[in-house]
Structure 1
Amino acid sequence: MNMNMSNLNENTKQILFQVILVMFTSMFLTLNFVYNSLNFRNVRFARTMVFSIKEINNSSELLPGVTLGYQIHDSCASVPVAVKVAFQLVNGIEPVFFPNQFCSKSATVHAVVGDSNSTPTIAMSRVLGPFGIPQVSHSATCACLSDKLQYPTFSRTIPSDYFQAEALARLVKHFGWTWIGAVRSDSDYGNNGMAAFLQAAQAEGICVEYSEAFYRTNPRAKVRRVAEVISRSTARVVVAFIASGDMLVLLSELEDRLMTPLQWIGSESWVTDRKMLQFRLFAGAIGIGIPRSVIPGLRDFLLDLGPAQVSHSPLLTEFWESAFNCSLGGSQTAAGQKTCDGNQNLRDLQNPYTDTSQLRISNMVYKAVYAIAHAIHSIICTDEPNAPPHCNKSIPVEPQQVMEHLRKVNFSRNGYKVSFDANGDPVATYELVNWQVMRDGHMEFVTVGHYDASAPDGQVLIMNKNITWAGGQPQVPVSVCSESCPPGTRKAVERGRPVCCYDCVPCAEGEISNVTDSLDCITCPADHWTNAGRDECVPKPVEFLSFHEVLGIILAACSVTGACMAFMVAAVFYIHRDTPIVKANNSELSFLLVFSLKLCFLCSLTFIGQPSEWSCMLRHTAFGITFVLCISCVLGKTIVVLMAFRATLPGSNVMKLFGPPQQRLSVLAFTLIQVLICVLWLTISPPFPNKNMKHYNEKIILECDVGSAVGFWAVLGYIGLLSILCFGFAFLARKLPDNFNEAKFITFSMLIFCAVWITFIPAYVSSPGKFTVAVEIFAILASSFGLIVCIFVPKCFIILFQPEKNTKKHMMGKMPSKSL
């Protein structure tokens, strides 16, 4: 870098009237030197300011009759030089005195345009601020300059980096990049801009693998280390908040490295700098650019330079010699450098000075000059309807007045609106620029979208053209730390790593995630469950013992078989009702017992099918009453056997106490007690259909809730009590003579009955779902079959297949050892 600290100055323009000397406005613009060569782009900025001032001085609408003067200084991108010139402007001391001018001293500085870089601008603003001198920058974007407590007189026509950081973060988020690298200039511009970007990126859920800083004057080893970090990283997207001069230094290290093409995301400082187009490394880069503009007449003004005009300005002289690599007459000729022959023409050159195809920062300079002019115009000029403006040149103008009116300007120029907010910032609008390779092989900046911070949500970032990606990829590059988690899984952050690095954990049972990269799984409603992919809640299957399934069909068939068997027993007994076996076994209780067994078999059918309010009440009450009726009949038969034995003893009158009327009454009394229990149960808390979703998570069990558990166990307990009582009586009568051998069959049947219902209790409690009902049905059928087989089958066998034994004589003489 050329560190020549000499100030470059163009002659101050003459004013029309001596009295308006105090209304001169001194403009300050920087011209940076990079790699010992003049920055032609910044020369264009300076010439744009001159063009703007000439245009204003020739205007009849803006400051008519008033001539604006200017000075152009070079800060060399150096803070000391910028501060030195700022003090000179504040003190009114010209670095060069021109005796031929009308003025005998320097004009008071009313406003400053510049600097081009943020760091020198900050230094200048701290000098100019206490004196109330307004400063309007065309290119200093550091968000820190919006702090009016520190920089009260600063304004700018270029948006703050705060908005640029927001735009870059939205751009990265728009393309789904969550794993990026970050590189910045180690300066106020880079550090403050990257800090704002990182904050915005974090809010968008973007993670940064690395964040490196360097400056162009750093030792090469540091720049090389930054290049190594970039080339070795796993992030395929790099956000570069770097000044163009620093980017050139970094490119010198990256250019010779063999590495996977990276998707570069650039800030406005370098992404629209045409010097960068020579580097193929940046093909496909996307960045934020200041909107392009057209300034009528500017190109002709820039190219309207000749040797005679150039020789009067040290700045233009150096520019001319650098552009044509020759030496103007009178200047010292370097070794091997030819003398300019006067035939050089700027129209024959192609460099950043002559390139006016994409006027971006130049337009910011143009707007800055016009903003100051409008502020001065609002102080000394009056605008009346249908009349030309009139300016009072005798009004003294102070810099503080210019600053106050500058914040209020609101005008349009060349289709662009110019205004400032309370922080001195304009409305943030950007172009989204893509570096695309044209058919002839050269690269160009192509506008592929727009960003407008003032637009409504959903319209802030708009993409309207196809994008060329790094490496010529047809699809958007992927840059993530971890692959996206598909629906049915959720993100689980890895310990000690950024939130963008995660594992995909399947959702737990009963939970789903129906979007990609879900942070949490959603619990399904109580009556729904997850599908196989755990990305959708589906209604839980409803389960109950149905007539259409195998188990239900088998149990229903057994129930019907038992009922038919009871019917056949009743038929056999009715047909042979006059035979000794039927008469000896108390035919009335036998018929009642067969009838009750038939009801027991049939009541098991009420347990099959979808539970309803009526079926739930019917199944339990019918079961309780029919079984009590059955056990009452068995108990009656047992008591008759015992009473008959007692009646054979001399002087016994027992049978008179337990004759047929008493037998009927006992059966009725035992049954009515159960009926009373059932009525109380149904009245207080009856059984009801219930959706059981606790036993199984993945399905719903339709069951009959017993309602009152006391009522349910009272019904079962009463049946158990009668069964134990019946078993006890039968056990006492087991050794009676053979003609009363029915007691042995009753004993065995009650033994089966009690065994079934004792095992029923743990099986009922532990059986899941529909198998609870199946266990209950099995207990009913097993005990019913036990009664009918043990009590009636032996008798029917004798009646049908051994009729010779169905005689009174045979029954009276039969020995116990040979009895059935």
Structure 2
Amino acid sequence: MQSLSELALKYGICVAYQATIPPYSEDTRAQMLQMIKGIVQTKVNVVVVFSSNRKASGFFSVVIEQNITNKVWIGSEDWSISTLVSRLPQIKSIGSVMGISVKAAEMPGFAEFEARSIESENSKANEELVCQSETFSEILTCYQLLQQIKQVNISIHDAPLYFDNNGDPPTGYDIIAWDWVNDSVSYKVIGSYSPNPETLLINRDLINWNAKDKKTVPISACSAECWKGYRRVLTGAHVCCFNCEACPAGTYVDINDLVNCKPCEKDQWSLPESDACLNRTVEYLPWNDITSAVLIITSVMTLLLTVATAGLFLLNLNTPVVKSASGKTCLLMLSSLACASCSVFGHFGVPTAVGCAFLRELFCLSFTICLSCIAVRSFQIVCIFKMSGKLPKAYEFWTKNNGPHVFILVSSAIGFFISLLRIVLDRPVPIENYSISPDKIVLECSGTQSVGSAMETGYMGLLSFLCFAFSYMGKDLPANYNEAKCVTFSLLLYLVSWLGFYTTYAVYKGKYTPAFNIVAVLASVLGMLGGYFMPKCYIILLKPQLNTAAHFQNCIQMYTTKKSDH
């Protein structure tokens, strides 16, 4: 029984109940009734009975008495073809019976020998038998006899006769089924088992099940099979009794392990109720995407516009408009804006270590230089018109010691130090983000919301505030020098673009996150070009009469007169 249970478990067959059949008597009747109750409670339809024919006869008598019907009984060779069992009254009601029997072999003369009457009291025969046994035992011990038997391999009537390693003759078995015709039973051979070579043959067409439909194979299952994507939740001690539970998303049911929901690999995903995992889609902003094409064209146009503006200012470097805008410092501003425009190209395609580490820093440093130039230019104008008279020594110290250049250098150096510190301590690197979507792997740069990024953004915010403050202080200066509206527009566009980016990043992370970053960069650059430089380009190209020293002197005189009147 232990071997049968182990083999059944190996092949996924559940043994729901086991018991030992006792010899039938009034004392063991209660034990048999308990066994039959166990069979009924487990709701099995197939019962394997290893028993002698006498014990089986007593057992099936109780089965018939308890009206246990429509089951399949599989018997061992001792009772499966025993008339002691098959002739029990109403035995047909128990259901279908199948079993095994030792293969019959031709043995000429055995019938005649069996027909002879051998009297047991023939002492002479007994003495001869004992004498032969003792004589044979003197020749071979039991162990030696077993070894000799294992070597026997002969042929009798064209049939091989040999013994296996256990000393047993592996003659094979016939698979039989009880076949009922009215109330008469016959033992029909429906198949066979041969040990050498090991083969099992069963002809299903020969089986007539003892049921209404004689050709429908009975089913014995504690629970119906679970659907795909559902795992088995055992409801008791037996592996065949279970409920079904759907596996959640990100897991699947392996055909080799129907009890557990196995998690998918890191680069895979699955829907609920899945029996397999799918590979995640790798996402990034490719160069050939339509969004990328639009942004690349916009970036190139922005870069060309910046270069054209720089060329225009270079050609008109000595004109009053360019000088009032800060002269050669404008070329530094435009160069930094050009570098900022170039930084967007690192956001396309698969993120790289160089792109993640330096292109973001390129924008931050470039825009820091631009903001520093605007801040110092606004401060310079305020000093000329408002502080030179009140603090002449301070103004003289500022001009003699190249205050504007020192401020730009120091301010830019601080921005460079912050960027360098971030690269050393908190360097952005390419990462595979698995948490954004269950079915996607998003390739991106790390550190978008890191401490280093916050320091860079905070420092540029401080410079923006200084630009606005100094520009606001000069809101009542001559129109040629009043940059309050232009600077405010540029800074407002810069602020809105980056607030929009971080707000979007808080609610959306995916393939087009770099696109939002590019939009913020281009909006910042175009804001500076449109707010600060375009009005001056307009005067240079379309209003040359306003780009004269006389016009500027006239504006200053009008401002002085107006101020003296107040």
Could you say which residue in structure 1 is the equivalent of 2:222? 481
1:588 correspondence with 2:328: yes
Could you say which residue in structure 1 is the equivalent of 2:111? 299
1: CA distance, partners of 2:10 / 2:447: 60
Residues 282 and 416 of structure 1: is their aligned pair in 2 closer, same or farther, counting only changes over 3 Å?
farther
Could you say which residue in structure 2 is the equivalent of 1:691? 432
Could you say which residue in structure 2 is the equivalent of 1:287? 99
Residues 744 and 702 of structure 1: is their aligned pair in 2 closer, same or farther, counting only changes over 3 Å?
same
1:441-590 matched pairs, under 5 angstroms? 443-446=186-189, 448-450=191-193, 462-467=199-204, 468=207, 470=209, 471=211, 477-486=218-227, 488-494=229-235, 498-515=238-255, 518-530=258-270, 534-549=274-289, 551-570=291-310, 573=313, 580-590=320-330
Q: Write out per-residue CA displacement over residues 180-205 of structure 1, whole angstroms, 9 at most, x where no aligned residue.
A: 67686433xxxxxxxxxxxxxxxxxx
Q: 1:635 aligns with which of 366, 375, 388?
A: 375
2: CA distance, partners of 1:375 / 1:484: 60
Compute the displacement of 1:624 (Å): 2.3
Instruction: Flag structure 1 segments of 5+ consecutive residues without an equivalent.
Output: 1-161, 188-214, 315-369, 384-404
Residues 499 and 173 of structure 1: is their aligned pair in 2 closer, same or farther, counting only changes over 3 Å?
closer
Q: Write out per-residue CA displacement over residues 657-692 of structure 1, whole angstroms, 9 at most, x where no aligned residue.
A: 448965455434433443344445545664322223
Amino acid at match of 1:186: P
The aligned length equals 533
Q: 1:272 aligns with which of 73, 81, 100?
A: 81
1:240-389 matched pairs, under 5 angstroms? 240-245=49-54, 247=56, 261-274=70-83, 285-290=97-102, 292-303=104-115, 376-380=134-138, 382=139
Residues 734 and 526 of structure 1: is their aligned pair in 2 closer, same or farther, counting only changes over 3 Å?
same
1:235 correspondence with 2:47: no
RMSD (Å), alpha carbons: 5.0
Could you say which residue in structure 1 is the equivalent of 2:3? 166
Instruction: Flag structure 2 segments of 5+ consecutive residues without an equivalent.
Output: 122-127, 560-566
Residues 706 and 221 of structure 1: is their aligned pair in 2 closer, same or farther, counting only changes over 3 Å?
closer
CA contact 1:409–1:418 (8 Å) conserved in 2: no
Q: 2:460 aligns with which of 694, 716, 719?
A: 719
CA contact 2:64–2:93 (8 Å) conserved in 1: yes
1: CA distance, partners of 2:231 / 2:266: 21
2: CA distance, partners of 1:578 / 1:485: 86
1:733 correspondence with 2:474: yes
**More displaced, 567-576 or 740-749?**
567-576
Compute the displacement of 1:600 (Å): 1.6
Compute the displacement of 1:615 (Å): 1.5
Amino acid at match of 2:353: E
2: CA distance, partners of 1:301 / 1:219: 40
SS in 1 for 2:79: helix
CA contact 1:488–1:534 (8 Å) conserved in 2: yes
Residues 634 and 248 of structure 1: is their aligned pair in 2 closer, same or farther, counting only changes over 3 Å?
same
Compute the displacement of 1:585 (Å): 2.1
Amino acid at match of 1:238: V
CA contact 1:542–1:702 (8 Å) conserved in 2: yes
2: CA distance, partners of 1:474 / 1:660: 110
Compute the displacement of 1:616 (Å): 1.7
Q: Write out per-residue CA displacement over residues 477-530 of structure 1, whole angstroms, 9 at most, x where no aligned residue.
A: 432211233553322123x67442212223333333321662223333333334
Could you say which residue in structure 2 is the equivalent of 1:615? 355
CA contact 2:229–2:275 (8 Å) conserved in 1: yes
SS in 1 for 2:269: strand
SS in 2 for 1:740: coil
Amino acid at match of 1:444: Y
2: CA distance, partners of 1:288 / 1:687: 75
Amino acid at match of 1:795: K
**More displaced, 216-225 or 614-623?**
216-225
**More displaced, 525-534 or 657-666?**
657-666
SS in 2 for 1:545: coil
Residues 676 and 223 of structure 1: is their aligned pair in 2 closer, same or farther, counting only changes over 3 Å?
closer
Could you say which residue in structure 2 is the equivalent of 1:604? 344
Amino acid at match of 1:287: G
2: CA distance, partners of 1:313 / 1:651: 146
Residues 766 and 263 of structure 1: is their aligned pair in 2 closer, same or farther, counting only changes over 3 Å?
same
Residues 231 and 657 of structure 1: is their aligned pair in 2 closer, same or farther, counting only changes over 3 Å?
closer
CA contact 1:524–1:537 (8 Å) conserved in 2: yes
Q: Write out per-residue CA displacement over residues 587-640 of structure 1, whole angstroms, 9 at most, x where no aligned residue.
A: 423333233223222212212321112212231221222112221221232123
2: CA distance, partners of 1:724 / 1:371: 123
Residues 519 and 219 of structure 1: is their aligned pair in 2 closer, same or farther, counting only changes over 3 Å?
closer
Q: Write out per-residue CA displacement over residues 147-204 of structure 1, whole angstroms, 9 at most, x where no aligned residue.
A: xxxxxxxxxxxxxxx5xx634763x5687543667686433xxxxxxxxxxxxxxxxx
Amino acid at match of 1:446: V
Q: Write out per-residue CA displacement over residues 105-151 of structure 1, whole angstroms, 9 at most, x where no aligned residue.
A: xxxxxxxxxxxxxxxxxxxxxxxxxxxxxxxxxxxxxxxxxxxxxxx
Q: Write out per-residue CA displacement over residues 509-564 of structure 1, whole angstroms, 9 at most, x where no aligned residue.
A: 33333216622233333333346763334443223233344554454444334334
2: CA distance, partners of 1:512 / 1:291: 48
**More displaced, 436-445 or 552-561?**
436-445
SS in 2 for 1:521: strand
Structure possessing the higher radius of gyration over alpha carbons: 1
Q: Write out per-residue CA displacement over residues 252-280 of structure 1, whole angstroms, 9 at most, x where no aligned residue.
A: 78789999843221233321325656766
1: CA distance, partners of 2:460 / 2:302: 20
2: CA distance, partners of 1:260 / 1:227: 12
1: CA distance, partners of 2:533 / 2:80: 104
2: CA distance, partners of 1:535 / 1:786: 54
Amino acid at match of 2:3: E
Could you say which residue in structure 1 is the equivalent of 2:533? 792
CA contact 1:674–1:718 (8 Å) conserved in 2: yes
Could you say which residue in structure 2 is the equivalent of 1:743? 484
Residues 712 and 233 of structure 1: is their aligned pair in 2 closer, same or farther, counting only changes over 3 Å?
closer
2: CA distance, partners of 1:469 / 1:557: 81
**More displaced, 729-738 or 701-710?**
701-710
2: CA distance, partners of 1:499 / 1:474: 29
2: CA distance, partners of 1:563 / 1:676: 26
Residues 713 and 176 of structure 1: is their aligned pair in 2 closer, same or farther, counting only changes over 3 Å?
closer
SS in 1 for 2:349: coil
1:430-449 matched pairs, under 5 angstroms? 431=173, 433-435=175-177, 443-446=186-189, 448-449=191-192
TM-score norm. by structure 1 comes to: 0.53
1: CA distance, partners of 2:382 / 2:132: 128
Amino acid at match of 1:588: K
Compute the displacement of 1:296 (Å): 4.4
Task: Give the % identical residues.
Answer: 25
SS in 2 for 1:744: helix
1: CA distance, partners of 2:52 / 2:469: 106
SS in 1 for 2:527: helix
1: CA distance, partners of 2:502 / 2:396: 38
2: CA distance, partners of 1:748 / 1:434: 98
Amino acid at match of 1:464: L
2: CA distance, partners of 1:227 / 1:254: 7
SS in 2 for 1:700: strand
2: CA distance, partners of 1:272 / 1:168: 24
SS in 2 for 1:518: strand
CA contact 2:69–2:94 (8 Å) conserved in 1: no
